Amino acid sequence: MGLVNIKIDGQAYQVESGLTILEAAKKCGFNIPSLCAFNNGQCSRASCRVCLVEVKGARGLVASCVYPIAEGMEISISSPKAVAARRASVELILSNHHKNCLECEKNGHCELLEVSKLVGARDGMYSGEQTPATIDTLAPGLIRDTSKCILCGRCIERCKEAQGISILGFENRGFNTIVAPVGNRSFATSPCLQCGQCVNVCPTGALMEHSEIDKVDAALRAGKKVIVQTAPAVRAAIAEEFGEKIGTPGTGKMVAALHRLGFYRVFDTNFGADLTIMEEANELLERIKNKGVLPQITSCSPGWINYLEYYYPEVIPHVSTCKSPHMMMGAIIKTYFAKTHDIDPKDIFNVSIMPCVAKKYERSRSQMPDDVDAVLTTRELAKLIKRSGINWQRLPEEEFDQDLLGEYTGAGVIFGVTGGVMEAALRTAYFWLTGKEHDKIDFEQVRGLEGVKEAALDINGTVVKVAVASGMRNAKKLLDEVKAGKSPYAFIEIMCCPGGCINGGGQPFVKPLFLPNEDDNILETYKAKRASVLYSEDVRQTVRQSHNNKDIQKLYKEFLGKPGSELAEELLHTSYVADREKYPSGK
């Protein structure tokens, strides 16, 4: 790549060739506002017309998000014509936008509002009829409100690129265009995974998680014993909500905040993760021993379970029957914990803090008893903390409550990143098969953020092949092999969101517009930064294998018996639906 000479507003710069004007301008120190462009200004649509600039010699104004720079190009960002044009584009968008900003869940993260400020848009400059709106609140995980949608198309791209299923698409034409699942249906009656990846890229309040804060409020008010658990990936990102740089661990402060919010107990879902490993590794060994259906596939990710049921029902026999960690945890709290403390389970209200919106859906599945009563995303937890006047910066570091379900291992922590469940399971399975711990605890082969990873492990002379995939578009290849009976693996880990839960649909938004202190390439690095929080916490743990968790051992000894026992089956395992209709009748 050579260098080219360009001029921006009269000043000369040298930048690498092949960039768009928007990218080049950023490198030269100019932020051109844009709404449809994502990934630092790579855009295939050029549809919002907010990033217009003048280029000498070009016909009319050009969209800087797609226009490539060229040698000798003279660009004007600040010319009166360009400034007025950008403002007018935003003002027109605002005229077809439901502007109830104060009550909008996206307030504070709304790119439209921010860009409006940046271009100096005047309120009510244009006004008139608005596109007929649909508000879909039927799905437990997601809410879609077309009155906020600016048709940037990012969600459509993300659904296609991450999950390969294209649930969302443009419908109708012209002023009546909307973004919706087929036929403007609800997410609930579409084969949507409710993973929330679309929410993560939506610039406005058009796509949001289905908030359950009110339910938690009500339970606290009703004097219930509200027990909270937090998933591993939450600690890797929660600090971002309070202005910390991406990759800052937030475990101690998060626990401190939860204590201040009045929860009865603050537990770590990692305990549930360790329990999952016990059950899942046991299930794997049983399948191997009894020549059962292999490969076995993990079941912790509810987005993936949705994908399984809608798109690969033939693969159901391969999938572990284990509930996900927080559901196991919920079941244990309402039985073992309740019994030990002599609490009526009806008085317990379980809240799970998850990096995920599909978990909201998961807890409502008819195959799941009411063990978890509300799921809040990382973002919702941050709202709760802010609302309560808690100053994050001043919070001390506190520990999770050590009460029956307190101890957790490094194996549980890494559940939050792709490859983590596999690594944790291998640690335990290896021990059970060989009677000794693997001398190298870190299974590097299954780490990293590639879409599909493979590894082979020598267990007493037998080579066991395993694979890991995140993002359903990546998983598809492995699943086609399984479906065709040609999978060479014994065990496969599948996570719905690309990179695993650290990049879940309930995690803090990563939007360069609001992150002036992050590097330019933050969209390429944030997953690794969050993952590193989990891997370093794993290393800091003295116990790093699930089977060595003392509280887990005690739980089996005093309550469950052994992994796979009848009681364990009843409380910790579930079943799947093989005939889910993709587009059931009605809306």
Partner 1 sequence: MIKIKTSEELIKAHEDFGSCLDKKFHCEPGKKAIVVCGGTGCLSSSSDQLLARLQKLIKEKGLEDKVTANIVGCFGFCSQGPFVKVFPEETLYTKVKVEDADEIIEKDIIGGEVVERLLFIDPQTKQRVARQHEINFYKLQKRDIALKGNAEINPEDINEAIGQGAFLALNRALHMDPQQVIDEVLKSGLRGRGGAGFPTGRKWQFAHDVQSDEKYVVCNGDEGDPGAFMDRSIIEGNPINVIEGMMIEGYAIGAKNGYFYIRAEYPIAVNRLRNAIKQCEEIGLLGDNILGTNFSFRCHIRLGAGAFVCGEETALLNSIEGKRGMPRPRPPFPAIKGLWDKPSVINNVETLANVPYILLNGADKYAAIGTEKSKGTKVFALGGKVNNVGLVEVPMGITLRQLIFDIGGGIPNGKKFKAIQTGGPSGGCLTEKDLDTPIDYDNLIAAGSMMGSGGAIVMDEDNCMVDVAKFYMTFICDESCGKCSPCRIGTKRCLELLTKITDGKGTMKDLDELKELAEVIKSNSLCGLGQTAPNPILSTMAAFYDEYVAHIVDKKCPAHVCKSLMQYKILEDKCVGCGMCARNCPASAISKTDKVPVGKPETLPLRVHFIDAEKCVKCGLCQANCRFGAIIKD
Partner 2 sequence: MARLQDAAVKQITEIVNRYKNEGTPLMMILSDIQKEYGYIPLEVQELVSDLTGIPVSEIYGVVTFYSFFSLTPKGKYVVGVCLGTACYVKGSQLVLDKFEELLHIKPGETSEDGLFTLDALRCVGACAIAPAVSINGKVYPMVQVGQVENIIKEYRAKEAN
CB closer to partner 2 out of 158 and 427? 158
User: Closest separation between CB of residue 132 and partner 1, Å?
Assistant: 12
> What CA–CA distances, in Å, run from 152 to 123, 175, 203, 220, 290?
21, 14, 8, 39, 53
Beta bridge partners of 348: 225
Give the footprint of partner 2 on this chain (CB under 8 A). 156, 160, 165-173, 181-183, 581-585
Q: Give residues with Cβ within 8 angstroms of 291, minimum separation 6.
A: none
- Can you list the pairs that 486-489 forms with residues at least 24 positions away whose Cβ atoms lie under 8 Å? 487/295, 489/294, 489/295, 489/454, 489/465
* Three-state DSSP string of 147-180: HHCCCCCHHHHHHHHHHCCCCEEEECCHHHCEEE
For partner 1, which stretch binds (CB under 8 A), given 82-90, 454-462, 537-545, 551-559? 82-90
Binding at 435: pick from partner 2, partner 1, none (beta carbon under 5-8 Å per type): none
Residues in Cβ contact with 369 at an 8 Å cutoff, skipping those fewer than 6 apart: 331
Positive or negative: CA dihedral 437, 442, 445, 451 = positive
To partner 2, the closest distance from the beta carbon of 190 in angstroms equals 9
Residue 93's binding partner out of partner 2, partner 1, none, with CB under 5 to 8 Å set by partner kind? partner 1
CA distance 344 to 49: 59
* Residue among 55 and 354 whose Cβ is closer to partner 1: 55
47 in contact with partner 1 (CB under 8 A):
yes
Rank residues 103 and 579 by Cβ distance to partner 2 and give the closer one: 579
Q: Which of partner 2, partner 1, none is residue 52 near (CB under 5 to 8 Å by kind)? A: partner 1
Q: Which of 22, 28, 55, 66 binds partner 1 (CB under 8 A)?
A: 66
CB of 423 to partner 2, least distance (A): 34
Whose Cβ is closer to partner 1: residue 85's or residue 457's?
Answer: 85
- Shortest Å, Cβ 479 to partner 2: 16
Which C-beta is closer to partner 2: that of 8 or that of 178?
A: 178
- 90/241 Cα distance (integer angstroms): 27
At residue 352, φ and ψ (nearest 5 deg) are: -110, 130
The nearest distance, CB 89 to partner 2, in angstroms, is: 23
Looking up tokens 């590639």 gives 450
Query: Is residue 52 close enough to count as binding partner 1 by CB under 8 A?
Result: yes
Residue 461, interface with partner 1 (CB under 8 A)?
no
Q: Determine which helix (DSSP H) or strand (DSSP E) holds 18, and give its type and residue range.
A: none
Q: Which is nearer to partner 1, 150 or 466 (CB)?
A: 150
Q: What is the DSSP annotation of 52-114?
A: EEEETTSSS-EETTTPBP-TTEEEESSSHHHHHHHHHHHHHHHHTS---GGG-TTTTT-HHHH
Instruction: Return d(Cα 587, Cα 585) in angstroms, integer.
Output: 7
Residue 497: which of partner 2, partner 1, none does it interact with, CB under 5 to 8 A by kind? none
User: Using the rule CB under 8 A, is 79 a contact of partner 1?
Assistant: no
Instruction: Decide: 332 and 519 in contact? Cβ < 8 Å.
Output: no
Does 81 sit near partner 1 (CB under 8 A)? yes
Nearest to 503 by CA among 534, 478, 466: 534
Nearest approach, Cβ of residue 170 and partner 1 (Å): 6
In angstroms, give the least distance from the CB of 152 to partner 1. Answer: 9
Options 41-49, 353-361, 502-510, 553-561: segment touching partner 1 (CB under 8 A):
41-49
Map residues 147-186 to x or -, x wherever contact with partner 1 holds by CB under 8 A: ---xx------------------x-xxxxxx---------
Beta-carbon contacts of residue 117 (< 8 Å; ≥ 6 apart) = none
Among 49, 148, 265, 529, binds partner 1 (CB under 8 A): 49
Report the residue number, 117 or 550, with the smaller CB distance to partner 1: 117
Residue 206 Cβ vs partner 1, minimum distance, rounded to whole Å: 14
Q: How far is the CB of 191 from partner 2 (least distance, A)?
A: 9
d(CA 508, CA 506): 7
SS (H, E, C) 168-216: EEEECCHHHCEEEEHHHCCHHHCCCCCCCHHHHHCCCCCEEECCCHHHH
Cis peptide before 355 (omega within 30 of 0): no
Is residue 133 close enough to count as binding partner 1 by CB under 8 A?
Answer: no
The reply to whether 45 sits near partner 1 by the rule CB under 8 A is yes
15/436 Cα distance (integer angstroms): 57
Binder of residue 168, out of partner 2, partner 1, none (CB less than 5 to 8 A by kind): partner 2
- 48 binds partner 1 per the rule CB under 8 A: yes
Report the interface residues with partner 1, using CB under 8 A.
Answer: 44-49, 52, 60-61, 63, 66-68, 81, 85, 88-89, 92-93, 95-96, 126-129, 150-151, 170, 172-177
